[in-house]
Amino acid sequence: MSEPGWLDFELGGQRSKGGGDKTRYSLPVTVKLAFNPDWGVVLGSELGIRRADLTGNTFNGAGDVTVLVKHRFANASEDIAWGAMAGVKLPTAKDDIGSGKTDLIVTGIFSQDFAGSKHLDLNLGVTRLGAYGPGEGRLQYAWAAAWSHGLNDQWSVFAEPSGTYRRAVPATAQLMLGASYAYTRRTVFDVALARGLTSATPHWQLQAGVTVLLARLW
């Protein structure tokens, strides 16, 4: 959860090559607001997308909008946290950018802190797709495991394998490596490089972004 009462804003840039597109550029944005330590909302989209398909046709536009409610379950341990997110992906993008259908999303979350500024996040989710082809599974399962290690008060490094599975559709998997720099207590920069591990996954992705606590609302 983000800091209760603070408007948490994330903005980044991403370039990918391979997978379903020849190239893809986007500007992902996420806004988070926690009402208290246990409940919050997450709003995400892509402000701009430029993709070239495998035949070289290019498409431009904004991405779909995702709205999620996030909940942390009560736990006796201060080092361990369980949580869940649920919400919808709304078909706000053009059909040549998004799917044109509404998706329903549910994700389970496990987090643990370790000695020496080490942190583990595990996510397991399922999405009920609004758009799917004949014979394809409607449910898409996603997983991710992120391990981070703080080097000092400002720098940390992280590694994150992740992937998706859906019946009759090639599975995706990738490994992301990156670093974060805390410029101030309210501003963090990060950069990451991801390598696709299956033919259905973008071969390479380069990402950079910034997270800012914009303002305290209460």
pLDDT of residue 1: 78
CB 124 within 8 A of CB 145: no
Q: Give the span between the Cα atoms of 45 and 24, in whole angstroms.
A: 15
Per-residue pLDDT tens digits for 157-210:
999 999 999 999 999 999 999 999 999 999 999 999 999 999 999 999 999 999
pLDDT digits (tens, 9 = 90+) for 56-90: 899 999 999 999 999 999 887 889 999 999 999 99
pTM: 0.93
Average pLDDT over every residue of 140-161: 97
- CA–CA dist 44, 15 (Å, integer): 18
Residues 6+ apart with CB under 8 A from 134: none
What is the rounded average pLDDT for all residues in the chain?
A: 96
Residues 6+ apart with CB under 8 A from 185: none
Which domains are seen in the chain, by residue range? Answer: 6-216 (2.40.160.40)
